[in-house]
Structure 1
Amino acid sequence: MNITFIGGGNMAGALISGLLQKGFDPKAINVVEISAEGRAHLSEKFGVATQEEIGAAAISGDIVVLAVKPQQLFGVAAQLHGLLDGKLVISIAAGVRSADLSRWLGGHTMIVRAMPNTPAMVLAGVTGLCALPEVPENQRSQAETILGAVGMTLWLEREEQMDAITAISGSGPAYVFLFIEALQEAAVGLGLTPDQARALSLETFLGATKLALQSSEDAATLRARVTSKGGTTESAILVMESAGIKRVITQAAQAACLRSRELGDELGKIGAGGS
C-alpha cells in the first residue's frame, strides 16, 4: 500500500506511528500538511515525505486518508476532484457522512468512514468502520489494516450506527477521565496526597479493565463479586445507585448520540442546494 494522509495532526501522527511500528515502510507514506512546522515535525519524527499542497504528485498512492477537521473537509474534497481514480478514501473526520463526502468528491464511492478515539494516540484505540457498498473486500481489508495499527476495529452494517460509536467509544474516554478525576478528588479529600490519589485511581482503572477483558463473566457479575453484603463496597454502590448513576450515564450517551446525528445533518448541508 502507498498512503497519502491529508492533514498531519495528532490522529494522523498516531496512525503513522502505529503503521511504522508494524513494519510499514515510511517511504510508502506521504503527508499533505499546510503547516511548515508540522511538515518538519513529521519528516523528522517518522521519515515520511511531506507536501504543502494537494496535487497529482501528492495523491499518487493507492489510499487517501482524510485526517482534517470536519469543517475543512468540503474544501479539501473540492481539491481532490479528478485525482482519485478508484483510490480508496478513508475519512476520519467526525460527523461527515459517506454520502455527503461522496457528493463533495464528485460521486466517488470508494469510501470508508472511520471513527477512531483518542486512545489511538497510545495505540490502544478502538475504531468503528463503515464502507459504502461499492468498496471491494481488498480495500476494506486495507482500511482495517490502517486503522488496526492503532487498536481494535469494529465493522458496522449500517452507517447510522456510527452515531452510537461516537457516543460510546468516541466520547467515552472523556467519561472515564471524569470518573478518574472525581475519584482522585475523593482520595485527596480522604487524606491521600495528589500523587497517591493519581496512582491509585489510574492503576485501579487499568487493573479493573484488564480483569474485565480477561474474564468470561459480564461486568455486573464482576461487580457483584467485589460487593460483599454489609461491606465497604456495598455502602459506596448504594450511594451511587441512589443517585441514579446508571440512568445518568445512559442519558449522557443518548445526548452524545443525538448531537452526533445533529452534527451530521448540519455538515451535510454544506455544498447542498448551492449553499
Structure 2
Amino acid sequence: MVLDLIPPRGWVPDFITPSGPGTPQELLERVRATTRAKAGADLQHVAEHRSLPSWTRRLADDPDALCLVADSLQHVYDCLLDPHWRRITAVTTADSASRARHVLRDGMEGVLARVNPRRVRWNPPVLEVLMASGTDGDLHLEGRGLLLVPSVFGVDAPVIDPDAEPQPFLTYPVGAAHGPSGALFPGTVLSPHSPAARSLASLLGPTRAAVLTAVANDPGCSTKELAAAVGIAPASASEHATTLRAAGLLHTVRHGTAAAHSTTDAAQILLQASGA
C-alpha cells in the first residue's frame, strides 16, 4: 500500500510524508492521526497529477483503510529503515553540521550554490528548482525562510513544498559534495580475527585498527559504545577516535556532550584495500 502511494517519482499525498521534526515513531503517529477529510483532500490533489489505485478511494471514508496504510508504513520502516537508522541519523546530522559551517563561511548564497548544483539555483528572489520530470518548480520565499532537509534516498530528485508550515522546505542529497553512493551502506563488516583485521593492525597499530573496525561495524556508535566494543576506557577510545579523525578516517558528529562516529570514504577504501 505504501509503495502504491510513494512511487519512485511523482506526486505523493502529504499525509503520508509529514513534515517537521520528530522521531520515526512520532512521525508514524502523525500519519495515524490523519483525518479522513485530510486524506481525501490530499489524494484528490495527487489524482490531478497521476493515477491512483482504486483502493485509495476507501481512505476518505473508511478509518480501517487508513489504519492499514499506517500499519504498512510501520512495516516498511521496521524492515527497510530501522536496521540502518543510526547510520541515517549519523550521516544526515554530519551533513547538516557541515552546511551550518558553510553558512558562516560563505553565507546562504554559497550554501544554495552547492546544495544540488544540477537541479537547484538561487536567482534572487527566486529559488529555481529543476524537478525530475523536467518541469521547473520555482519557489518564491517571500521572506518566509527555507528549511533544507538532507535526504539519503532522494539523491536525484529534489522535493519542495511551498505551502509547508511554518516554512517551505527543500530536500537535497546528503553528502552531495562526496557523492551519495555508498554513504549509507558501506558494506564492510570485519571480524577482529580476520586476515584483513590483522593487516590493518600492522598498519595502524592493534588498538587503533580495532577502533576503526568497530566503527565500520557499528556506524553512528557513541564513544562509550566504541570503548565497550574494543574493550578500552572511554578516554582512550576518544583519543584514538581523535587521531583517526585527524587522519581523515572518521567523521564525528556531536549532540551536546555525546558523539556519534562513522567512517569516511577514505576509511572504506582502506578497509577494502586491506582485504575486507
Give the TM-score taking structure 2 as reference length. 0.30
Q: Which structure has more RCO (C-alpha within 8 Å, separation ≥ 6)? A: 1
Give the TM-score taking structure 1 as reference length. 0.30
Task: Decide which structure has greater helix share.
Answer: 1
